[in-house]
Amino acid sequence: MSLLGDMQADEALPKLKEVLKDRDLAKQALIAMGNLGKDGIPLLIDIMNSSPQVEIQAAAQKD
């Protein structure tokens, strides 16, 4: 998962967004999105505001 965070944002974000569907990997995907820096922020904000899973919303806020 950490390798995805090291990819370019345009390559990594679609893959990370797919991984969010897996409850066991979602928090790791959010961390990887945070590692993308400013490119990951819009998606993290969207997840924070729209995810039906409170745990995912909270993890998005931390990253």
Alpha carbon distances (Å) from 38 to 2, 9, 16, 22, 24: 17, 9, 15, 24, 25
State percent of the chain over pLDDT 90: 0
Per-residue pLDDT tens digits for 31-43: 888 888 888 888 8
| 61 backbone φψ class: left, alpha, beta (φ>0; ψ -120 to 50) | alpha
Give the pair of three-digit tokens for residue 18.
């797919």
Q: What does the alpha-carbon distance between residue 47 and residue 58 come to, in Å, rounded to a whole number? A: 10
For residues 6 and 16, is the Cβ–Cβ distance under 8 A? no
What's the pLDDT tens digit per position in 45-62?
A: 888 888 888 888 787 777
Query: Is residue 18 pLDDT above 60, yes or no?
Result: yes
3-state secondary structure of 18: helix
More confident residue, 7 or 30: 30
